[in-house]
Chain A
Amino acid sequence: MQTEALLHTPKAASEPILAVENLKAYYTTKAFGIDRDIRAVDDISLTIAKGEIYGVAGESSSGKTSLIKTIVGAIRPPLHVVGGSVCFNFEGQAYNIYDLGPDELQTIRWRHLSYIMQGSMNVLNPVRRIKHSFFDFAFAHMGLDRATFWDKVREHLRRLDLDPGVLDSYPHQLSGGMRQRTTIALATVCTPEFIVADEPTTALDVIVQRDVLTMLRDIQRDLGSSFLFVTHDMSVHATVSDRIGIVYAGRLVEEADTPTLFRGARHPYTQHLVASLPKIGDATRRASLSGRPPSLADPPAGCRFHPRCPLAMDICSKQVPPLNPLAPRHRVACFAVSGATS
């Protein structure tokens, strides 16, 4: 049996559920009287349509998680937003995340916007049964009486092929995969319209990973939610995401529909990322990229990829390439591709 793609559901262009514009968020540290800015999110704009799965790929410390945190408004010092806006559209009503007070933010969290955190199989309280976690997280947001609430939770677990008996277990009694699926159930029990998943399958082995991804597909299909899906694993993106944005050193360098990105990537970094993926049945030698990812505290001037780029030109070290549309739904930030016009 060959595995089929899990998720691709072509989307008609509909109104965006999320619009991010020129978002900038820096970590500012003050040590010995010296201010340092770590530019983790630097001028990122993107939109996500209703029912779409938008994948964000990039290596560790490229700012993926910071991007998510700024999008969901989970901002804690030293991270702070320097500029830009994040606008959600839930049930026809616009919410600008940074204009909302803590109470208003609380009303859209979980109900409309839910966040599956990195390493989320470890978020369950180890000394309490799982049902308490469900109660603490979700009860206040659902507005139901207790009996209906528990019926609803059980029904949701059954729909995700989880035995409602997990509610009476402690986290340590479940395997990593079960815990991960339980936290996904927890994050989706309020049927949110927008779900952010940060590395939901990293650290799981391949078979469990497949189960978890299948489960996310089912949720997406049942609820019609939009996903912002973050992982560094390009194979997971190939299976799950409708559209992918590649983040390098805090900037979005390329964005395209999944098939376009894998078959016709234009940015040299994306091309390398796709070409270096090993595959079963193909043992041809894969080149590795020289150099190292730049430090975000002191990124290279101009295009941040230029010190490692095979196509680097003079202009690349002087100017920042804009993210230009190359074709409909395909944007690239590279002078070598879009021509040095600016």
Chain B
Amino acid sequence: MSLLLDIDHVGKTFLQGGLLSRRSIEAVKDISLQIEVERPEILSVVGESGSGKSTLAAMVLGQQLPTRGRVLFDGVDVASIRSRADRCAFMAKVQPVLQNPFEAFNPLKRVDRYLFATAANFMTANGKPTRQEIEARVDRVLVEVGLTLAEVRGRFPHELSGGQLQRTAIARALIPEPRLLVADEPVSMVDASLRMSIVNLFGALRDRLGLSIIYITHDLATAYYISDRIIIMRKGEVVERGDARTVLDNPQHPYSIALKNAVLTPDFA
């Protein structure tokens, strides 16, 4: 059994304040988590605001270095990556999808530019890629998410709907053929009628491309719908973990129970 991602007793402390009033905030306390190579899965990370979900994601992406413990990706400690080549190789395998697609793209730049730039940066295995190679790859990932290059080419972010833009962001993340996507609240800004299409897309990517996805959300209903495993976080700690359906059907920890009870369902109507 080899591990794709091994989060090993990781903690993160932020220091706040100056010389006289120094405070430390423990955003993440001692979290361990593994994703296996052979078993691609969607892992939901659920919890209230300020529970450390996004800090955990930032550490997986290598944007924050853990204060304690290690994050190993494919056996390599993320904190030990130094050279640009190593960093590119790492980024090719772990890609982010951000919360708000309208903020992720510069409103003054055409959307396709991000796709071409990502392709040019990562398709360097056989030397510099040609224009045709880049376009072919971009078109292929766009088809993967249910769009075509013709729909996206030359468009500015405001010309696309939130759902299309979020699909474009996911397509961009797929360009380097990653093994892991870290999606931080990817559907909270997407319209109701398009939300399920994004969530269904995650399921399809897992089944078709064997991609593992860390799905950070506070929407328990979509977590139940799509994910294989779930961890519930509170104040930097994991309070409950396990199979998503088992945990949410019958939560054990008082906080998980409170969280489930606070979920509003259409059944109240």
- Residues of A whose CB lies within 8 Å of any CB of B are 1-6, 59-60, 175-176, 203-210, 213, 232-239, 258-259, 261-263, 269, 272-274, 276-281, 283, 285-289, 292-293
B263 touches A289 (CB 8 A): no
Which residues of B sit under 8 angstroms from A5, Cβ to Cβ? 268-269
Q: Verify B200–A288 contact, CB threshold 8 A.
A: yes
The chain A residue with its CB closest to the CB of B225 is A278
How far is it, in angstroms, between the C-alpha of A259 and the C-alpha of B194 when the chains are bound? 24
Q: How far is the CA of A277 from the CA of B161 in the complex (A)?
A: 20
The answer, among A208, A210, A262, A273, for a CB contact under 8 Å with B193, is: A273
Chain B residues numbered 152-184 whose CB sits less than 8 Å from any CB in chain A = 161-164
In contact, A238 and B218 (Cβ under 8 angstroms): no
Instruction: Write 9 A-B pairs (CB below 8 A) sorted by A numbering.
Output: A3-B261, A238-B268, A277-B266, A279-B224, A280-B248, A281-B224, A283-B245, A289-B193, A289-B197
Assembly CA distance A262 to B196 (angstroms): 18
Given contacts A234-B192, A272-B193, A276-B193, contact A292 B164 (CB under 8 A): yes
**Cβ contacts under 8 Å, B192 to chain A:** 59, 232-234, 273, 276
* Interface residues of B, Cβ cutoff 8 Å to A: 47-50, 161-164, 188, 191-197, 199-200, 218, 220-222, 224-225, 245, 248-249, 258-269
- 4 tightest A-B contacts by CB? A288-B197, A59-B191, A262-B269, A235-B264
Residues of A within 8 A of B264 (CB): 3, 206, 209-210, 213, 233, 235-236, 238-239
B102 and chain A: residue at smallest CB distance: A60
Nearest B residue (CB) for A286: B196
Q: Are B268 and A293 neighbours in the complex by a CB distance under 8 Å?
A: no
Partner of B49, one of A2, A205, A262: A205
B258 — which chain A residues lie within 8 A by C-beta? 207
- Using Cβ atoms and an 8 Å threshold, which residues of chain B touch A4? 268
Inter-chain contact A288/B269, CB cutoff 8 Å:
no
Minimum CB–CB distance from B122 to chain A (whole Å) comes to 29
> A276 — which chain B residues lie within 8 A by C-beta?
192-193, 195-196
How far is B224's CA from A327's CA once the two chains are assembled, in angstroms?
36
Supposing A236-B264, A238-B266 touch, asked if A278 and B191 sit within 8 A by C-beta, the answer is no
Check A258 against B261 for contact (C-beta < 8 Å): no
**Which of the residues B48, B266, B267, B269 comes within 8 Å of A207, measured between beta carbons?**
B48
Q: How far is A60 from B264 in the complex, measured between Cα atoms in Å?
A: 20
Is B48 touching A208 in the complex (CB atoms < 8 A)? yes
Choose from A279, A283, A289, A292 the contact partner of B265 (Cβ within 8 Å). Answer: A279
Asked if B49 and A176 sit within 8 Å, CB to CB, the answer is yes
